[in-house]
Amino acid sequence: MEFAIHNIEGKETGKKVTLEKEVFGIEPNEHAIYLDVKQYLANQRQGTSKAKGRAEVSYSTRKIKKQKGTGGARAGSIKSPVFVGGGRIFGPEPRDYGFKLNKKVKRLARRSAFSVKVADKNVRVLEDIKLDAPKTKSYIKMLEGLKLSDKKTLLLTSGVETNVVLSARNFPKAKVMTAENVSTYDIMNASVILLCEGAMAKINEILK
């Protein structure tokens, strides 16, 4: 699979690159993608809902009425869940919604996600981008040159490029990440993947 390489202005440089079939051309495993995206979203949940039990509500511990002679049921504490303002029975507790997923499944999921994007012709390859200063105008110009200014894009770099991140930050549909930190969710959530040459080598090293 050969792809033309584009420069910072979005124009073809005349050079071409071949994407590794083992990473970008496999038969996608949709269930692996589903599991990895599900785990990512589960990890985003705060799980901080909480209700007070009878041991946690703040009330006096005195007996509220005598045990016998009232004609009603015995009542020993105002903290009882049967009274208004009493503790909650089986109320929600802080919890972690995350679950374990094997490394091989996560690797397969990312390879499958990349393969889906390549099959749908939603991958572009760029020269390694270096900016002297943060400039949103430069980033938008590149997207316009690629005719992607109206698409949700994900740019993958080989390392942390602070100026590139800052340049894309104010553009709502653009996201910049390092290749080693990208998740299956990030890949599938973007309409088009922009791969820097260095990032492509990094992805091959991690996922091959």
The set of residues, in sequence order, having a beta carbon less than 8 Å from that of 110 and lying 6+ positions away, is 36, 182, 183, 184, 187, 207
pTM, two decimals, is 0.83
Q: b/e map of 20-55 (b: 16 or more CB within 10 Å)? A: beebbebebbeebbebbbebbeeeeeeeeeeeebbe
The per-residue pLDDT for 75 is: 87
Does residue 115 surpass a pLDDT of 90? Answer: yes
Cα(122)–Cα(173) distance, integer angstroms: 15
Instruction: Quick: pLDDT tens for 138-151.
Output: 888 888 888 888 89
Domains contained in the chain, CATH given: 2-45+98-207 (3.40.1370.10), 47-96 (no CATH)
pLDDT band at 5 (very low <50, low <70, confident <90, very high): confident
What is the signed CA dihedral for 27, 33, 36, 41, rounded to 10 degrees?
160
Range 159-181 average pLDDT: 88
Q: Is the pLDDT of residue 9 over 80?
A: no
| 67-110 pLDDT per residue, tens | 888 888 888 899 999 999 999 999 999 999 999 999 999 999 99
pLDDT band per the 50, 70, 90 thresholds, residue 3: confident
